[in-house]
Structures are given as structure tokens and as C-alpha cells.
Structure 1
Amino acid sequence: MSYATQADMVTAFGEAELISVTTPEGAEQVAIDPSQVTMALNVASDEMDSYLRRRYAVPVAATSPVLTRYCCVLARWVLWGKSNTSPSEALRADRKDAIAWLSAVNNGSVTLDGAVPLNVGTDFSQVATRPPAFRGICP
């Protein structure tokens, strides 16, 4: 399950950029290649799950706008990595921000509203099943 769609990518970055990064070198740039966008979104979602699975059941069903945004950012990075053009500093900074946020979720300093947390506690109840061995009175 992907945390974003091609429509989310178009909204975030524009159709022209997606056409540019999904069209093979030398080919006419006429339309977005949906298979490339889907592949990038899946790669980005898998990367996000690798951070989220420490705290939450993945894939996270309650997708929030922040998950969608960072999925788009990471998918954009994947698409630019497949093109022959170097990513801009702004793109690098966006990816760095996404990874920093995912790391914060991973270490527990940021939580996801509506996501199902994993039951990973290490504190357990202890129950005595036998009565104490000594019942006498001390002198």
C-alpha cells in the first residue's frame, strides 16, 4: 500500500516536473509515465515502513497529510535518482527533512495520530500461584 498517489505527486510538484523525470532521455515529453510514478511511490512507502514498523503496524491505515507529503518527497527523490539530472539542493533538503521526521517517529519522539501502535512493552505483570512456604510466628 502506498501512502500517496500520482494525483498527490502532481499536486505537490506539478505535472511538468513529473513528465520530465518519468520520460526517458531523448524521448518526447508528452505525458507522465504512471508505471514510473507507481514504482517510486512503492519504493518510498517501503522506505517509510522500515522506519514506522518499529512503533506501528504497517502499512499504517490512517494515512495523514504528513505521511502523504513525505511519501511524495521520497518518491520524487527516487524519480530524480533515475533521471540523468542531479537533484537540486532543495530536493536534498526535503529528503533530509523527511528522513529526520521518520527517524523521530522511529525513536518515539513523534507519534502518529490514528495509527495502531505495536504492543512492544517490556513490563509484565507477575502473579504468585503458590502460597508462601513459611506461615509460622517468629519469636
Structure 2
Amino acid sequence: MAYVTQQNLIDRFGSTELIQLTDRTNMPATTIDATVVAAAISDAENVADSYMAKRYALPLSPVPDVLVPVVANIARYNLYGERAEKESAIYRNYKDAIAWLKDVSSGTVQLEADGVAADQPTSGQVQVSAPERVFTRDSLKGY
């Protein structure tokens, strides 16, 4: 299930930005290349899934609203690529999104995901496995 659509990116960042970032054939840029946008979104969703898989069964259904801007910011950063400067808002939003996903992964942030949380490890007993003893009271008898 998709967390973000091309329309979400247009609504958040504007069609002009997407045209400039994706149109690689027209000079000047005039259209949004849906293939480039889809690849950036797919990569962003895979990053999000890699963090959420630790705590939740995937795919999330329905998609929590709080996840949309997070994945959108990662997709935007993917579209910028090396053009995203370290001091830019794009880079800061990307880093914030990754930090938020780390919080989801660690359990600090809980998603509303209709009870699809993955099984959490439970505390159990420690088990030790070792070979038979070579020297026992009986084998050393008489020494």
C-alpha cells in the first residue's frame, strides 16, 4: 500500500518544484516525470518500511496520517539527491524524518495501525548448552 502519492508531493511542495526536479528531457522543464517521482516515492517507502518492520506488520493499513509527511520529506530529499545542501530545509526535514522513524522502530513513537503491531520479543529463561563433563567425581575416583 502506498504511503504517499505524486499528488501528495504536489500538494506539499508544489508542481513547479517537481517539474524542476524530474523533467530531464525538456529545456526548460515543463512536465512532471511520473516515473522519476514514482521511483523516489518507492525508495522513501522502502526506507520507512525498513524501520517500521521492527514493530509493525506491513503493509500498514490504513496508512496513519502522521506517516504521510515523513515519507513525503524522504521522497523530496531523494528527488533532490546531491543538490540538497547540508544546511537546507530539505536536508533537515529528511534528517528529522529518519529520526522519527528511528523513534518508531525503538517504540518511543506509537503508530495508530489498527492493532497490527508485530510480535514483540518476550523475556524468557536463559538456556545453556554445553558438552558432557570430562572430569567428574566418579571418573577421578582413586586419584
Q: TM-score, normalised by structure 2?
A: 0.78
1:14-53 alignment to 2 at 5 Å? 14-24=14-24, 27-53=27-53
1:1-139 equivalences under 5 Å are 1-24=1-24, 27-81=27-81, 85-87=83-85, 89-115=88-114, 116-123=116-123
Long gaps (5+) in structure 2: 125-143
Q: Deviations along 1:33-73, whole A, 9 cap, x unmatched? A: 11111111000000000000000011211212221111110
Larger Rg: 2
2:135 corresponding residue in structure 1 = none
Tell me the matched-pair count: 122
User: What is the Cα-based RMSD across aligned positions, in Å?
Assistant: 1.8
Structure with higher RCO (Cα < 8 A, 6+ apart):
1
Alpha-carbon distance between aligned partners in 1 of 2:37 and 2:26, rounded to the nearest angstrom? 19
Moved over 2 A (4+): 25-28, 85-88
112-121 or 90-99, larger mean C-alpha shift: 112-121
Provide the identity percentage: 34
The TM-score normalised by the length of structure 1 is 0.80
CA distance in structure 2 between the partners assigned to 1:38 and 1:29 by the alignment: 18
Q: Please give the per-residue CA displacement for 1:74-93, whole angstroms capped at 9, x wherever unaligned.
A: 000111017xx344611111
Quote the Cα distance in structure 1 between the aligned partners of 2:56 and 2:19.
34
Aligned residue number for residue 132 of structure 1: none
Structure 1 6/26 Cα, relative in aligned 2: closer, same or farther at 3 Å? closer
Residue 26 of structure 1 and its aligned partner are, at CA, apart by 6.7
Structure 2 residue identity aligned to 1:73: N
